Amino acid sequence: KTSPKDLAIHLEESLEGKLLKKDSQKFFRDTLLHVKNKSLIKRGLGDHAKFAHKTGTIGICVGDAGVIYLDKKKKASISIIVQRPFNNLNGQQIIREISKMVYERLQQGQ
């Protein structure tokens, strides 16, 4: 079992913290920056936002978690898991809407 908070903490520590050696950290970040599934949080972000993330789904849940790179110095961790009726697609739409609201709010703070 996990939680959105746990996912955000562990991904940020892996991507930006001291859990991995620098070369492993770079490889991990590069891998997560090129995840092919861009239909969840990434779709709610601006076209030029860099987002290192991992998606996941099982019949009753769908989720996405990662780090949004706003510029060279600013970043934000985000993690969203939605419980849903088995394989219902509304969960994906909820994630996209939440990520769009979060990203717009982050842009206002810059």
The tens digit of pLDDT for each residue in 43-96 reads 999 888 899 999 999 999 999 999 999 887 889 999 999 999 999 999 999 999
> pTM for this one?
0.91
- Amino acid (1-letter code) at residue 43: R
Give the bridge partners for 67, in sequence order: 52, 77
E strands in the chain: 50-58, 61-69, 75-83
Average the pLDDT over 23-39 and give the result: 95
The per-residue DSSP string of 77-97 comes to EEEEEEE-STT-THHHHHHHH
Identify whether the C-beta of residue 4 lies closer than 8 Å to the C-beta of residue 11: no
Q: Which residue has the tokens 């790179």?
A: 69
